[in-house]
Amino acid sequence: MSEAEHGGFRAPAAPAAPAVSGASWALGSVVAELRAAGRGIDGARQKLGRQALPSREVLVGIARDLRAVFFPAHFGPADLTEEGTDYFVGHTLDAALLALHEQVRRGLGFPRELDAREAARREGRAAEIVRDFAAGLPAVQELLETDVRAAFEGDPAATSIDEAVFCYPGITAIMHHRIAHLLYTLGVPLIPRILSEIAHADTGIDIHPGAEIGASFFIDHGTGVVIGETCRIGERVRLYQGVTLGAKSFPRDASGNPIKGIDRHPIVEDQVVVYAGATILGRITIGRGSSIGGNVWLTRSVPPNSRISQAQVRSDVFEDGGGI
């Protein structure tokens, strides 16, 4: 366009890009310092040899494909017909399982380097795990159906089942958890935790894959919820945002290291409601049908049908140093 067409205005010319190269950043010394700073972690990685690590990006895709398998009407193609659903589910599931097999094969190499015999055994074990995982998916589907219905029925703001599936972070988190927990029970290292952390990053809900969670589980709003590894949660349990089901303490061995693998998180029985901001710590039991109020700090077991709330706020006036 001419100057006249611009009304006489000429746009200033873009400045020439400066001539730079790797030498401008002193890359050699920076790379050397980075290697020195990360030597501890990198050294631990070197002990595993040259085997490939599981891929977070691939696992994101696997979780996305499994979501479409569980909810094809919502996350499948827009033109998906009833007659084409089985084909779509079969094709998508096959691709997800093939990708998962490779990730499981990689994951089975942890936490140590494998010799040739162990590496050969790993190949067969990976196929066996993925076969068992596939066989467990119908049960996961049934649980997710109860979770979605619990979200719809438990939230008066939900206008439809579809809204719960599409929009609720609690549904995303519990879907990832049920997939991760199945892999966890099959003895797969590392990968279940990666799947859980993908959901954590997306939703703000942190559920360890070791936690056992019954049917019709609903997390309303969800941000800031933490559920520890050894939690046992019954059926028809509802949590609100900011709830922590955590550990009270970490017993240590003679060398001062935390003792792992012990039950240290709460047991929450059926039909319990835990309101926003509540913190429940230690291997305690919240009895069936109980209600735990918002911002409660609880470190003791409570019997069934308990109603636990904060202590009443008390305001006192002290004069002349009273109360000190």
pLDDT in tens, 136-158: 999 999 999 999 999 999 999 99
Ranges 9-13, 124-128, 192-196, 203-207: which has the least confidence: 9-13
**Percent helix / strand / coil, the chain, rounded to 5:** 45, 10, 45
d(CA 207, CA 205): 6
Q: Which of 245, 243, 199, 246 is nearest to 221 (CA)?
A: 243
Q: Which of 244, 204, 246, 250 is nearest to 223 (CA)?
A: 204
Query: Which tokens go with 176?
Result: 């990832």
The answer, yes or no, to whether residue 4 has pLDDT greater than 60, is no
Cβ-contact 115, 121 below 8 angstroms = no
User: What is the number of other CB atoms lying within 10 angstroms of the CB of residue 124?
Assistant: 9
Cβ-contact 66, 154 below 8 angstroms = no
Which residues, listed in sequence order, are joined to residue 297 by a DSSP beta bridge? 279
Give pLDDT, residue 257.
85
In the numeric block, the tokens 């490779």 are attached to 102
Per-residue pLDDT, averaged over 93-118, amounts to: 84
What angle separates helix 191-203 from helix 82-107, to the nearest 10 degrees?
120
Give pLDDT, residue 26.
86
Per-residue pLDDT, averaged over 207-233, amounts to: 98
Ranges 9-18, 189-198, 274-283, 307-316: which has the least confidence: 9-18
Q: Which of 250, 214, 208, 210 is nearest to 226 (CA)?
A: 208
The answer, yes or no, to whether residue 273 has pLDDT greater than 90, is yes
Give pLDDT, residue 122.
82
Domains of the chain: 51-204 (1.10.3130.10), 224-314 (2.160.10.10)
The residue type found at 136 is G
What value does the mean pLDDT of the chain take? Answer: 89
Per-residue pLDDT, averaged over 265-289, amounts to: 98
Query: Which tokens go with 286?
Result: 């919240």
DSSP state of 51: P
Q: What contacts 210, CB < 8 A, 6 or more positions away?
A: 181, 184, 229, 230
Give pLDDT, residue 11.
63
Cis peptide upstream of residue 111 (ω within 30 degrees of 0): yes
How does 244-260 read in b/e, with b if 16+ C-beta sit within 10 Å?
bbbbeeeeeeeeeeeee
Backbone angles phi, psi at 158, to 5 degrees: -75, 125
d(CA 190, CA 179): 13
- Percent of the chain exceeding pLDDT 90 equals 70
Per-residue pLDDT, averaged over 287-297, amounts to: 97
Q: Tell me the pLDDT tens digit for each residue of 67-83.
A: 999 999 999 999 999 99
Give pLDDT, residue 96.
98
Strands 273-274 and 238-239: parallel
d(CA 268, CA 42): 40
Per-residue pLDDT, averaged over 22-27, amounts to: 76
pLDDT higher at 3 or 296: 296
Per-residue pLDDT, averaged over 126-135, amounts to: 97
- Percent of the chain exceeding pLDDT 70 equals 83
d(CA 247, CA 303): 20
pTM: 0.84
Give pLDDT, residue 166.
97
Per-residue pLDDT, averaged over 158-180, amounts to: 97
In the numeric block, the tokens 């950043």 are attached to 25
